[in-house]
Amino acid sequence: MTPRALRIAATVLAPAVLASCTAGHATGAVPSGYPDTLWAQRPVVRLAFDVADDLRSVTGRESVQFTPDVPVCEMVFRAHPNDPTLASSGSSLTLTSAAVDDQPVVVQTEPAGAPAGAPGTLLQLPLPRCLQAGDSVRADLAFTVGLGRDADERIGSSPDTETAWFGSAFPLLSWVRGGGWTRDPAVGMNGETAVSEEFRLAELTVTAPAAHEVVGVGVASPSSPGPRPETTTHRFSADAVRDVSVSVGRYDIRERDVNGVRVHLATPSAGTRADPSLWTDQLATAVDTLGRHLGPFPYADLWVSIAPGLSDGVEFPGALQFGDVTKDDLQALVAHEVAHQWFYSLVGDNQAEHPWLDESLATVGEALAGGDADYYRNYRVPDDVAGHMGEPMSYWASHGGFRRYGEGVYNQGASVLLRARDQVGPDPFDAALRGYIGANAHRVATPADFARAFADHPEVLDALRQAGALADNE
């Protein structure tokens, strides 16, 4: 996610809101740059979405094969469409059935931050028996998703352009290796709060009106006639992702190869404010430039869709959603969201507890490839957010909301890290950052992991401690 308004002016902000054809590569293998830390027993997920003809709702089915690495007696999923900001935009996720190893179960639903009247965000499935590490279980879920009309969120639909987009629009297994289930409540503020280990997306099927294009994630397989007249079923798969995003509608699809990465761009057939060729140029530049700083791009395919309701950008592993912005906003916005392909997508983090591990680092990537490095280097951190870079999302929700969050995490984080990079030298800093990425690829990282990667650069760690991003013992 990018707080575009925070870059335009330091003191006057527009309301900050969310903005995170199908031929693909023949293989869905993880690129060779990061194979060593791939979890062999990662969950295996099968997802099926059936999109209504009016693009206002989706019927879904999910199957999850799960093998925990510590003992468990339940399975926990997060229903992010019921988060406060998504619910207020008209989106929702309602569970209609659940079974564990083919036996129906009664799901315990907890609000966990959901607003009054909305379904809960925390879904707990009891297991017939407790599992030991290495045991396996399968959960099967059915659900419906409502798509808010013209929603400035990761889930929405645009009747005027006949498009719809939905990310995190399914029960997301909320597991962290070695730590177990995460249950951080959703907050009433824009910004991501998800945490999930990677899973193998064995199959993603999307059934939609035959006249519509579908953008998914991973590798596309040939489509086939759908189960209803005048529908088509589109298929995708991915070896390792943390989340899934889909866009459907009257889109024009453009494709471009960038250093071995296949970029798919979907723009509404109704038109965009910036020419699609400018979008593909900026995407190509960001993939190339960031690859030179951060290491190999994590995915063989990058799926990008323009969602008319969004005002900014939202990141997903191997996929991005963007608002229909002007050409003047493209460079920094695209660079920021592409940087998220390394930070949160490849190297995960608990976004509710440690949002700086993806947003501060993605803003550094934005500075390196987006043309606004001097803005962040010279940024004067407001006194009321100085030293609070490492605070969780719950803190920012009760201390000034998204504006203060942007100043304290995005801007302060980029300022601290860019100045530290200047101090130790760009090459040593980038090498340490690539070391952090390589050591934590396919994992959920913590601030302590970042500190270990920069152990040879105490000046970087001192700067982060002063900003409140690291504890004294990290």
The CATH number of residue 127's host domain is 2.60.40.1730
- Banded pLDDT at 3 (limits 50, 70, 90): low
Q: Is there a single domain that holds both residue 94 and residue 204?
A: yes
Predicted local distance difference test score (pLDDT) of residue 55: 98
Separation CA 390–CA 377 (nearest Å): 19
Query: Tokens representing 364?
Result: 């550094």
User: 459-464: long-range contacts (C-beta < 8 A, 24 or more apart)?
Assistant: 459/420, 459/423, 459/424, 460/417, 460/420, 460/423, 460/424, 460/429, 460/432, 463/416, 463/417, 463/419, 463/420, 464/389, 464/416, 464/417, 464/420
- Burial label for 365, CB within 10 Å (0-12, 13-18, 19+), is buried
Domain contains 262: no
Q: What is the 8-class DSSP label of residue 296?
A: S
Domain holding 365, by residue range, is: 349-467
Q: Give the model confidence (pLDDT) of 83-120 as tens digits.
A: 999 999 999 999 999 999 999 999 999 999 999 999 99
CB 463 within 8 A of CB 420: yes
Domain contains 212: yes
- Banded pLDDT at 26 (limits 50, 70, 90): very low
Q: Is there a single domain that holds both residue 72 and residue 180?
A: yes
3-state secondary structure of 374: helix
Q: Is there a single domain that holds both residue 109 and residue 221?
A: yes
Q: Which of 264, 278, 379, 254 is nearest to 326 (CA)?
A: 278
Q: Is there a single domain that holds both residue 109 and residue 245?
A: yes
CATH number of the domain where residue 377 is located: 1.10.390.10
3-state secondary structure of 433: helix
Q: Give the model confidence (pLDDT) of 245-293 as tens digits.
A: 999 999 999 999 999 999 999 999 999 999 999 999 999 999 999 999 9
Separation CA 394–CA 50 (nearest Å): 34
Sign of dihedral through CA atoms 8, 187, 412, 327?
negative
- Burial label for 74, CB within 10 Å (0-12, 13-18, 19+), is middle
- Banded pLDDT at 81 (limits 50, 70, 90): very high
| pLDDT at 20 exceeding the cut of 50 | no
Q: Is there a single domain that holds both residue 223 and residue 87?
A: yes
Domain contains 57: yes
Q: Give the model confidence (pLDDT) of 142-189 as tens digits.
A: 999 999 999 999 999 999 999 999 999 999 999 999 999 999 999 999
In 374-414 the beta strands, taken as DSSP E runs, fall at: none
Query: Tokens representing 80?
Result: 């992010």
Give the list of residues 6+ apart from residue 89 with CB closer than 8 angstroms, or none: 148, 151, 152, 153, 155, 156
Q: What is the 8-class DSSP label of residue 273?
A: S
From 251, 272, 307, the end of a domain falls on 251
Domain contains 61: yes
Predicted local distance difference test score (pLDDT) of residue 36: 78
CB 16 within 8 A of CB 406: yes
Give me the number of domains the chain comprises: 2
Domain contains 413: yes
Across 8-34, b (16+ Cβ under 10 Å) vs e yields eeeeebeebbbbbebebeeebebbebb
Q: Give the model confidence (pLDDT) of 316-368 as tens digits.
A: 999 999 999 999 999 999 999 999 999 999 999 999 999 999 999 999 999 99
Q: Give the model confidence (pLDDT) of 189-243 as tens digits.
A: 988 888 999 999 999 999 999 999 999 999 999 999 999 999 999 999 999 999 9
| φ/ψ of residue 280, rounded to 5 | -65, -35
User: For 446-454, what is the mean pLDDT?
Assistant: 98
- Burial label for 82, CB within 10 Å (0-12, 13-18, 19+), is buried
- Burial label for 242, CB within 10 Å (0-12, 13-18, 19+), is buried
From 251, 284, 307, the end of a domain falls on 251
> Considering the chain, what is the average pLDDT of its residues?
93
| pLDDT at 124 exceeding the cut of 80 | yes
Domain contains 183: yes
Q: Give the model confidence (pLDDT) of 252-261 as tens digits.
A: 999 999 999 9
CB 28 within 8 A of CB 239: yes
Angle, helices 426-440 vs 412-424, to 10°: value is 120
Q: Give the model confidence (pLDDT) of 33-80 as tens digits.
A: 787 789 999 999 999 999 999 999 999 999 999 999 999 999 999 999
- Banded pLDDT at 463 (limits 50, 70, 90): very high
- Banded pLDDT at 452 (limits 50, 70, 90): very high
Predicted local distance difference test score (pLDDT) of residue 38: 92
- Banded pLDDT at 23 (limits 50, 70, 90): very low
From 219, 251, 283, the end of a domain falls on 251
| pLDDT at 10 exceeding the cut of 50 | no
Domain contains 205: yes
| pLDDT at 6 exceeding the cut of 60 | no
Taking the CA of residue 56 as centre, how many other CA atoms within 13 Å lie in the half-sphere pointing to its CB?
Answer: 5
Look-up of token digits 């959901």: 114
Q: Which of 349, 363, 354, 342 is nearest to 438 (CA)?
A: 342
Q: Give the model confidence (pLDDT) of 134-145 as tens digits.
A: 999 999 999 999
Sign of dihedral through CA atoms 241, 396, 184, 114?
negative
Domain contains 3: no
